[in-house]
Amino acid sequence: MKRAFTILPALFAASIVIAQDKQTGSPVNELQLESQAERQEGVTEDDTQWQQLEYFQKHPLNLNNADADDLKQLHLLTDLQITNFLRYKKMLGPLLSVYELQAVPGWDVLTIKQLLPFITVSNEKMIIENLGKRLSGGEYSALFRYSEAINRSDEYKKTMSTYAGNAGAMLFRYKYNYKNLLQYGITGDKDAGESFFKGAQRTGFDFYSFHLFARKLGIIQSLAIGDFTVHFGQGLIQWQGLAFKKSADVLNVKRQGPVLQPYNSAGEYNFHRGVGITLRKKNIECTLFGSLRRLTANIIADSLLQHEPYISSINTSGYHRSILEIEDRNNVQLQTAGGSLKLLNSKGHIGINAVEYAWSKPMKPSREPYDLYGMDGNRFGNYSLDYSYTLRNMHVFGEVATDNQFNRAMIHGVLTSLHPAVDMAIVYRNISSRYQSMFSNAFTENSLPVNENGWYAGISIRPIHGVRLDAYADIFRFPWLKFQANAPSGGHEYLVQVTLNPNKNAEIYSRFRNETKSVNMSDSGSAAIKPLPDVSKLNWRTQISYRVNRSTVLRSRVEAVWYANNIPQMKETGFLFFTDVHVKPAFKPFSFNGRLQYVETDGYNARIYAWENTVPYNYYIPAFYDKALRYVISVNYRLTNHLLAQQKNNFNCLLSLSFGQSINPSKTTVRLQNSANDENQEMDIRLQIIFATR
């Protein structure tokens, strides 16, 4: 009875807002991916998170059986929210309904709405299946994707003629999954310009990946064979999975997730190949892994100085198209070994982590001044201590790391609920300019954790129902030189976003972001000392989404950019507008997405990134600049067993087609005399087929 009085008011409020509103949107956070693409000038090919959430859409996670690792796989909750939920369940027992989540401290309506497509509540007990059931009772899926850019410029066609293969890109992926307890599969990938079943790729695809991954086998928490990713602490020494940096999700500042994860994406660099295992006995968890793989690198042989050949850079793109790229393919060997030991309890953990690398050839830093402290030698290592602890409404976390030269790095943070409607995050980082690491991804301004110190503070306020204010401020400093900054420098960044939900069918948000950094003056000529001015970039965006009915959603966005307003010779502006329509009729086998977009900028510095809906599991977030009118059409059609005349009741096939075209009126269609050119009509097409059965 006491429990009923505790949760009934919350259930009533939640039911008004989220009843019959279990909508399945995009499984990944498009806005975070757009922010990531802008910061790194590109997006990762790792779609593991997307695959995981897509699986939870089909097989929702039962919250009554879920532990902390299960909840972290959703990538939608903070550690403070996870701890509060587990405490709530321990005190009051299994949940009676998803609407009860409103009574969990720190779980607001917007969080619950994000979770609804991926969770369920039932009294079904978790049963650890035997090996035979795991091998025979799962789901099989096979994906094939073909994409190609067509009608490009004469310059593009000339470049493609120097490559070994055609302009088509292909991806093949076969996967088996039984309740996330057993997974195995194989992936093959061919990039545009790479050959196929000829030349350097006589075995077909340029890249193959295999993985076998098992969970919850007694004291074996995870077992990885083949390709897998490793995640330690806060990413200072190792974090290979998808992890976001600053975005409008201002509380998403902590790296969290299982230490080992299976890998079956198309990226050819950021993973390990070998064996890994996580053992857990009561409150002690131990992870060990070993990896042996070949990477593509640029090798310098300096015969005049009689130095042995050394590695000057690693090719992380995965492209093997031209003669030089093919010659460098898989020309160095990397051995990696590491592990972690954690002591855990219901409130937090403390752990030690280590990773060691051995190269077949020594690495040498480049001759650029900013790379003075780059990796040097055949062997390298990183070691760290990480921690987390929850006390009432506060969660603290952090990691202190060093490399084998005793150069230090640290990150410390706190997540706290100041009020039921106010949450806050603070992060401090201090990373030596000499500190080096591989396969790392921490919450920093730089793409890698090196040469940086700073403070970040973010706050999320929900003053009244349907209104949310998110803001952050970040002040950072780079003690040593960096790329495009020939002196110690620094900067700051601020963001404010207001989100309105006037009703369950509409969402409006408006965002303002200001970033200021010191960069080299681009047109300073041959001056020995180049000016290093502070360059600001301002972005303003407003987006409106409206659900017309259960099957149709409309969305429109307008965005403006002002780059280097304080420096006339570098000043650029930009503008983008698009409108989308998403149609997914209930109980129908098809869905449709369409976009009409216009962009106009003064140059590349004022570029604007925007997510495009193409085919499932495909990140496409291009940088738009210059002047162009673009349209995109995507169609999905699901063939069921009835249409395919199959006997099995659970067989289906998803056909997806995406077509986009950019019309650029600023480029002439006649570039060379007597030679027609379609440079002003750039098109891309993607075709994908997914077969799934049990």
Alpha-carbon gap, residue 296 to 215, rounded angstroms: 32
Q: What are phi and psi of 511, to 5 degrees?
A: -130, 140
3-state secondary structure of 254: coil
Residue 528, CA distances (Å) to 486, 520, 524, 531, 586 in order: 11, 12, 9, 10, 66
34-71 pLDDT, tens digit per residue, is 888 787 766 677 788 888 888 888 888 899 888 888 88
383-392 burial, b at 16+ Cβ within 10 Å, e below that, comes to bbebbbbbee
The pLDDT, as a whole number, for residue 112 is 86
The pLDDT, as a whole number, for residue 280 is 95
3-state secondary structure of 612: coil
Number of Cβ within a 10 Å radius of residue 178: 18
215-236 pLDDT, tens digit per residue, is 999 899 999 999 999 999 999 9
Report the range out of 54-58, 290-294, 639-643 with the highest average pLDDT: 290-294
Alpha-carbon gap, residue 156 to 679, rounded angstroms: 9
pLDDT band at 304 (very low <50, low <70, confident <90, very high): low
Burial of 552 (0-12, 13-18, 19+ CB in 10 A): middle
pLDDT band at 238 (very low <50, low <70, confident <90, very high): very high
Whether the Cβ atoms of residue 413 and residue 425 lie closer than 8 Å to each other: yes
311-352 pLDDT, tens digit per residue, is 988 998 889 998 889 989 999 999 999 999 999 998 899 999
Tell me what the mean pLDDT of segment 672-686 comes to. 57
Instruction: Name which of 233, 211, 268, 434 is nearest 338 in CA terms.
Output: 233
H/E segment holding residue 172? strand 168-178
Whether the predicted pLDDT of 528 surpasses 60: no
Percent of the chain beyond pLDDT 90? Answer: 52
pLDDT band at 504 (very low <50, low <70, confident <90, very high): confident
pTM (2 decimals)? 0.90
pLDDT band at 672 (very low <50, low <70, confident <90, very high): very low
Tell me what the mean pLDDT of segment 423-430 comes to. 96
67-90 pLDDT, tens digit per residue, is 888 888 888 888 888 888 888 888
Q: How many Cα neighbours within 13 Å face the side chain of 594?
A: 5
Alpha-carbon gap, residue 278 to 344, rounded angstroms: 14
588-633 pLDDT, tens digit per residue, is 899 999 999 999 999 999 999 999 989 988 878 888 988 999 999 9
Whether the predicted pLDDT of 19 surpasses 60: no
Within the chain, how many helices (H) and strands (E) appear?
A: 9, 33
Q: What are phi and psi of 251, to 5 degrees?
A: -90, -5
Burial of 527 (0-12, 13-18, 19+ CB in 10 A): exposed
Alpha-carbon gap, residue 382 to 237, rounded angstroms: 6
Whether the predicted pLDDT of 297 surpasses 80: yes
Q: What are phi and psi of 458, to 5 degrees?
A: -130, 150
Instruction: Name which of 115, 74, 67, 89 is nearest 7 in CA terms.
Output: 89
Tell me what the mean pLDDT of segment 403-424 comes to. 94
Among the ranges given (148-157, 292-301, 540-549, 565-574), the one the predictor scored with the smallest mean pLDDT: 148-157
Its sign, for the CA torsion 591, 175, 180, 686, is negative
Whether the predicted pLDDT of 268 surpasses 80: yes
Its sign, for the CA torsion 304, 308, 313, 314, is positive
Between 320 and 666, where is the model more confident? 320
The pLDDT, as a whole number, for residue 673 is 35
The pLDDT, as a whole number, for residue 6 is 46
Angle at 562 between CA 557 and CA 564, to 5 degrees: 160
Mean pLDDT (the chain, rounded):
86
Structural tokens at position 5: 């009085």
The pLDDT, as a whole number, for residue 669 is 37
The pLDDT, as a whole number, for residue 305 is 56
The pLDDT, as a whole number, for residue 123 is 78
Among the ranges given (15-24, 271-280, 603-612), the one the predictor scored with the smallest mean pLDDT: 15-24
Whether the predicted pLDDT of 155 surpasses 90: no
Alpha-carbon gap, residue 128 to 181, rounded angstroms: 9
Instruction: Name which of 421, 512, 513, 420 is nearest 467 in CA terms.
Output: 421
The pLDDT, as a whole number, for residue 641 is 62
H/E segment holding residue 321? none
Looking up tokens 């899926």, which residue turns up?
A: 141
Among the ranges given (220-234, 478-492, 510-524), the one the predictor scored with the smallest mean pLDDT: 510-524
pLDDT band at 125 (very low <50, low <70, confident <90, very high): low
